[in-house]
Amino acid sequence: MSDSTFNVVAFVLDDHSQQIITQLAADIDNQNIQVQKGDINKAREWCTKHGAPDLLLVDGGDCVNLDSALSELSHHCPPQMKLIVLGKKQEVTLYRHLMFAGVNDYHTTPLDADALRLSLLHLQGHQVKKSLRTGKVICVLGSSGGCGVSTIASNLGYYLAEKQSQHVALVDLDVFHSQHPILLGTDYEPNLENILKDADRIDETLLAHSSHQFSKTLHLFYGQDSQLPSDNHGSITETIQALAEHYGTVIIDIPNLHNPAMLDVIEKADNCIYVTDYSLNSYRFLAKLRARVQSTHQRQILVGNLCRKSKGRVPKTELSKSLSLDLSLEFPFDAKAFEKSELVGKPIMSQSTRFSKKLAQLGQMVSSAAKR
């Protein structure tokens, strides 16, 4: 096995799996990941011709004749090669059977990108510690006010909670003036300070009194006319970790990096969504941030937001090259949709617009849900 580069070859049967693994190939450092369409027999032919990689990923589809296909494959692969199998069956007995047979891991399709990422890193030798009892933490950040971070964060929370029935905590760390209530069409009930002061005492009772319960599945945490604690930076990180123990998904709106705790929050997140408006300021800010944030296990997503009619000064190709991130999707400039949202007092995700359709795509991306 290579000390520097971990060679991974994947053979998949569907477009969604190919898309997920292609994105992981761009995200994970020190792994050379190749992905192509094909079944286990095609994977066997590839190994016969090119030799076995460090890790081989194969798709068993409906898992019919899986044992015989894997047995044939084993004759062409050395015992030290790692093997991940994909399949449509969600059966504990199948998983146990594959583990007993020497398969390193089994993932059901449609793929969960975060679960597969952790598996790839673990099999490369990284110490991956992710509790099964904590929710997914997603940070949304951009260069400055006006590039659409709060709009994307709040409506993403709405989509995951209301459309995908996830239990979501939406946290705005701009405790002086949160836009989340306005963007979601609700009154202000700021209480974030309650849990920031008592992060070690967070329980169901405290959360019930400190959250703005927009709905049964979407709880808002934000402040008003306040400041983040300057003498206890750890309380912010502790608060986020505590929320992840009570919610399936925690979305954090990062306003700026003025507080030293922000970098720690970003580095510990499972997903980080970088929002750019293609301005020179956005380009410089995100480039510096990418250089500062060191997180092996994190999934990073770059999205463009045409929040103004004028075109950005930094070409998309140059931006992606500098950040070492492909542009995953682009939000259109849709002034009328925002005006209507404010007028009727409802989230923009409650409308059928070009913007809301793109936001739904982002929601499917972070939850790794295939289109039905």
* pLDDT, tens only, 29-84: 789 999 999 999 999 999 999 999 999 999 999 999 999 999 999 999 999 999 99
223 C-beta neighbours (distance < 10 Å), count: 20
Region of residue 30 (phi > 0: left; psi between -120 and 50: alpha; otherwise: beta): left
Q: What is the pLDDT of residues 312-360, one digit of tens each?
A: 688 888 888 888 888 999 999 888 888 888 888 899 998 889 999 999 9
Every domain of the chain with CATH number 3.40.50.300 lies at 136-367
Tell me phi and psi for residue 141, to 5 degrees.
-150, 155
Mean pLDDT comparison of 198-212, 268-282, 285-299, highest-scoring range: 268-282
In sequence order, what are the residues at sequence separation of 6 or more whose Cβ sits closer than 8 angstroms to the Cβ of residue 118?
Answer: 128, 130, 297
Every domain of the chain with CATH number 3.40.50.2300 lies at 6-124
Q: How far apart are CA 214 and CA 331, in angstroms?
A: 25
| Nearest to 240, CA basis, from 108, 126, 136 | 136
Alpha helices in 245-315 (DSSP H): 261-268, 280-292
Q: Which of 157-161, 191-195, 290-294, 362-366 shows the lowest per-residue confidence on average (mean pLDDT)?
A: 290-294
pLDDT-derived band of residue 2, with 50, 70 and 90 as boundaries?
A: very low
Q: What is the DSSP letter of 81?
A: S
- pLDDT beyond 90 at 106: yes
- pLDDT beyond 70 at 204: yes
Tokens in use for 371? 């289109």
Q: How far apart are CA 46 and CA 83, in angstroms?
A: 15
Please report, as a single letter, which amino acid is at residue 111: L
Q: How far apart are CA 13 and CA 87, in angstroms?
A: 10
**Model confidence, pTM:** 0.74
Q: How far apart are CA 293 and CA 263, in angstroms?
A: 7
pLDDT-derived band of residue 179, with 50, 70 and 90 as boundaries?
A: very high
Tokens 């709405």 label which residue? 158
Domain 136-367 class in CATH: alpha beta
Question: What is the percent of the chain with per-residue pLDDT over 70, rounded to a whole number?
Answer: 93
Q: What is the pLDDT of residues 136-177, one digit of tens each?
A: 999 999 876 678 999 999 999 999 999 999 999 999 999 888
For residue 296, the model assigns a pLDDT of 66
For residue 129, the model assigns a pLDDT of 59
Q: How far apart are CA 181 and CA 347, in angstroms?
A: 10
CATH code given to domain 6-124 = 3.40.50.2300
